[in-house]
């Protein structure tokens, strides 16, 4: 639901010029990032943020999971 806060774990992957979280629970979120988390690409991460569209998250933080 738009406006819902999330905290999800999964694998951070590049998809063309964008970043996507492949969720541990299944599915994926496209990520709107303020900074590019290059150290976390292709690694398991925890993402916190707010849902702003269909499967689109405005990310507040990315940390190693």
pLDDT at 30: 98
Q: What is the pTM of this model?
A: 0.93
4-59: per-residue pLDDT in tens? 999 999 999 999 989 999 999 999 999 999 988 889 999 999 999 999 999 999 99
> How distant, in Å, are the alpha carbons of 41, 47, 55 from that of 5?
22, 11, 13
Segment (H or E) for 34 = none
* CATH 1.10.10.10 matches 4-64: no
Per-domain residue ranges of the chain: 4-64
Q: What is the CA radius of gyration of the chain?
A: 10
pLDDT at 38: 85
């Amino acid at each position: 639901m738009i406006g819902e806060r999330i905290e999800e774990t999964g694998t951070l992957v590049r998809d063309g010029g964008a970043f996507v979280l492949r969720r541990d629970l299944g599915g994926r979120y496209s990520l709107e990032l303020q900074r590019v988390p290059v150290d976390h690409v292709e690694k398991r991460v925890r993402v916190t943020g707010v849902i702003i569209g269909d499967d689109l998250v405005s990310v507040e933080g990315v940390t190693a999971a």
